[in-house]
């Protein structure tokens, strides 16, 4: 008896949660582009909407009762790969660009991406705790915190804010690989509504600063 052929790669594009995940990746690609060219406010808008799409794909997936086991496994792996770009690479590029691409910032970039990879590998291996909590700070919090910290930018000098941003990023990296438990914020509908309001507020504020 021959083994059934696996579905094609592109067939998973028909799964709405995967499309939502890729929409978040598109926001992240935009954030990386705008970070490189120094349009930081536009980059921050892209970063926060990447989180919104990331949270939304989970909500959509939980409402689709006809998804197969293959779809669930594939979607989980897709999420992990996108997460390292959205919450590891994108914030690291933002830090590197804000530091005027000085070589010293490569240390911070490496730490941010390395800890993201370590955390996602750990989660892929062990998943949530028995209490349904994460071990360490979930990576999506990185973007939310960094976007919030940027609200301080106009109140301090560029040099001072570069230090604030660097310390924030390194502290987040430490928290990502720490051993304390944190709640899964995206699983609570009230948190999703709060995130939606946060995204709209951030988009409005930084969009106004771009005008």
Q: Which residue has the tokens 């995130």?
A: 195
Question: Which of these, 132, 141, 152, lies nearest to 195 by C-alpha position?
Answer: 141
pLDDT at 131: 79
Task: Count CA within 13 A, CB hemisphere, residue 31.
Answer: 29
Cα maximum dimension of the chain: 70
Count of Cβ atoms closer than 10 Å to residue 209 Cβ: 14
The secondary structure of residue 182, as a DSSP letter, is E
Q: Alpha-carbon torsion 201, 202, 208, 211, what sign?
A: negative
pLDDT at 99: 96
pLDDT (tens place) for every residue of the chain, 211 residues total: 566 778 888 888 888 889 999 999 999 999 999 999 999 999 999 999 999 999 988 778 777 777 777 888 888 899 999 999 999 999 999 999 999 999 999 999 999 999 999 999 999 999 887 778 899 999 999 999 999 999 999 899 999 999 999 999 999 999 999 999 888 887 777 888 899 999 999 999 999 999 8
pTM: 0.92
In CATH terms, the fold of domain 13-210 is 1.20.120
Structure tokens at 99: 């530091």
pLDDT at 140: 94
pLDDT at 10: 87
pLDDT at 143: 96
């Amino acid at each position: 008896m021959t083994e059934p052929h696996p579905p094609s790669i592109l067939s998973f594009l028909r799964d709405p949660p995967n499309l939502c995940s890729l929409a978040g990746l598109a926001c992240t690609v935009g954030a990386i582009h705008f970070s490189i060219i120094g349009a930081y406010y536009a980059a921050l808008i892209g970063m926060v909407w990447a989180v919104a799409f990331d949270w939304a794909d989970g909500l959509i997936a939980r409402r689709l009762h006809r998804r197969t086991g293959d779809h669930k496994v594939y979607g989980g792996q897709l999420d992990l790969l996108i997460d390292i770009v959205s919450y590891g690479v994108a914030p690291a590029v933002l830090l590197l660009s804000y530091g005027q691409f000085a070589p010293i910032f490569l240390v911070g970039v490496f730490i941010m991406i390395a800890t993201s990879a370590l955390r996602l590998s750990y989660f892929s291996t062990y998943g949530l705790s028995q209490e349904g909590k994460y071990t360490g700070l979930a990576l999506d919090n990185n973007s939310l915190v960094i976007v919030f910290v940027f609200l301080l930018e106009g109140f301090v000098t560029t040099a001072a804010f570069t230090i604030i941003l660097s310390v924030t990023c390194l502290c987040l990296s430490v928290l990502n690989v720490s051993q304390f438990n944190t709640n899964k914020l995206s699983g609570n509908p009230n948190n999703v509504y709060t995130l939606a309001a946060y995204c709209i507020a951030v988009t409005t504020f930084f969009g106004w600063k771009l005008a």
